[in-house]
């Protein structure tokens, strides 16, 4: 079977390698299969579990606004999560759950081949740079490989809990746009 986003989706549905899979629906990433920019959140929430789509709840609405603020729509980018199932009561995913779900994210990255990966929040950032803190690194470009830059940004849900972060988020997206423009100039 050829590995595509569609076959990945089908394979994930039949997977049972994470304890969270027993009580929740699988949520793979979605978006432009040729996207240059890939956003990675933490884990699906209630709405995402119901719809089996990433970032379709309140945090997703803010993510849509942030994308629009730099002239992007969801169809321009690819959006996924570290963990593919909703943790009970939206608790933080454990290290074990993150590790169990990691192959799916790696396969998505291998298929999309993004130039810029945007971890949203500390769980996704920790996958790429375990020693960087989101507080210090947000809104700055971090070279991962010759062809991939990681550009961490606060998780949109953080601004839903702490309104003071909303301005930082919009500023980080403006920085991201400036970085992307500088790469094509």
- Interface residues toward ligand URA, by CB under 6 A: 41-45, 48, 54-55, 57, 59-60, 81, 157
Least distance (Å) from ligand URA to the CB of residue 39? 9
Task: Please give the DSSP secondary-structure letter assigned to residue 119.
Answer: E
Residue number, 55 or 104, with CB nearest to ligand URA? 55
**Closest residue to ligand URA, based on beta-carbon distance:** 41
Task: Please give the DSSP secondary-structure letter assigned to residue 157.
Answer: H
Q: Contact at 8 Å (CB) between 54 and 47? A: no
Least distance (Å) from ligand URA to the CB of residue 148? 21
Q: Contact at 8 Å (CB) between 176 and 70? A: yes
Residue number, 54 or 114, with CB nearest to ligand URA? 54
Least distance (Å) from ligand URA to the CB of residue 181? 27
Residue number, 55 or 173, with CB nearest to ligand URA? 55
| Per-residue buried b or exposed e for 75-99, using 16+ beta carbons within 10 Å of the residue's own CB | eebbbbbbbbbbbeeeeebeeebbe
Least distance (Å) from ligand URA to the CB of residue 41? 3
| Distance (Å, whole) CA 41 – CA 16 | 21
């Amino acid at each position: 079977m050829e590995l595509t986003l569609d076959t990945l989706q089908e394979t994930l549905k039949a997977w049972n390698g994470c304890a969270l899979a027993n009580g929740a629906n699988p949520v793979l990433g979605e978006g432009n299969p040729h996207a240059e920019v890939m956003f990675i959140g933490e884990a699906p929430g209630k709405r995402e579990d119901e719809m089996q789509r990433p970032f379709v709840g309140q945090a997703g609405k803010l993510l849509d606004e942030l994308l629009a603020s730099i002239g992007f729509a969801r169809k321009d980018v690819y959006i996924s999560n570290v963990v593919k199932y909703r943790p009970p009561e939206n608790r933080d995913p454990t290290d074990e759950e993150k590790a169990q779900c990691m192959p799916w994210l790696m396969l998505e990255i291998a298929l999309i081949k993004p130039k810029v990966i945007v971890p949203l929040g500390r769980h996704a950032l920790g996958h790429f740079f375990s020693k960087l803190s989101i507080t210090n690194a947000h809104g700055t470009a971090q070279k991962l490989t010759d062809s991939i830059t990681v550009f961490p940004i606060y998780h949109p849900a953080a601004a839903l809990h702490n309104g003071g972060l909303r301005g930082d988020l919009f500023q980080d997206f403006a920085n991201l746009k400036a970085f992307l423009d500088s790469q094509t100039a």
